[in-house]
Amino acid sequence: MIYKTLFITTLITNFILFSPLGKTLEVKITEDIESVSVMHNGKEIVIQRNQNVDNLINPYFAKTSRPCPPFCIKPMTMGEDVETIIELDILDYLRDDNSIVIDSRTVAWVARGSIPGAINLPWDIFKNTKSDIFKKLLEEQFNVTIDEDKHYFSTAKTLALFCNGPWCN
Distance of alpha carbon 87 from alpha carbon 93, whole angstroms: 10
Kindly provide the residue ranges of all beta strands, DSSP E only, lying in the chain, ordered along the sequence. 36-40, 43-47, 99-103, 119-120, 145-147, 150-152, 158-162
Contact assessment for residue 116 and residue 36, using Cβ atoms and an 8 Å cutoff = no
pLDDT at 13 over 50: no
Residue-wise burial string across 109-118, b where 16 or more C-beta atoms lie within 10 A, e elsewhere:
ebeeebbbbb
pLDDT at 19 over 60: no
Mean pLDDT confidence for 54-73: 81
pLDDT given for residue 12 in this prediction: 45
Residue with the bigger pLDDT between 131 and 165: it is 131
Mode of pairing for the β-strands spanning 158-162 and 119-120 = unpaired
- Which amino acid, residue 51? Q
| 89-93, 124-128, 148-152, range with the lowest pLDDT | 124-128
Half-sphere exposure of 112 (CA within 13 A, CB side): 10
pLDDT at 21 over 90: no
- Which amino acid, residue 29? I
Q: Kindly report the length of the chain.
A: 169
pTM value?
Answer: 0.67
Q: Which residues contact 50 (CB under 8 A, 6 or more apart)?
A: 27
92-104 pLDDT per residue, tens: 999 999 999 999 9
Mean pLDDT confidence for 10-36: 68
Domain parsing of the chain, residue ranges = 2-167
34-48 pLDDT per residue, tens: 999 999 889 999 999
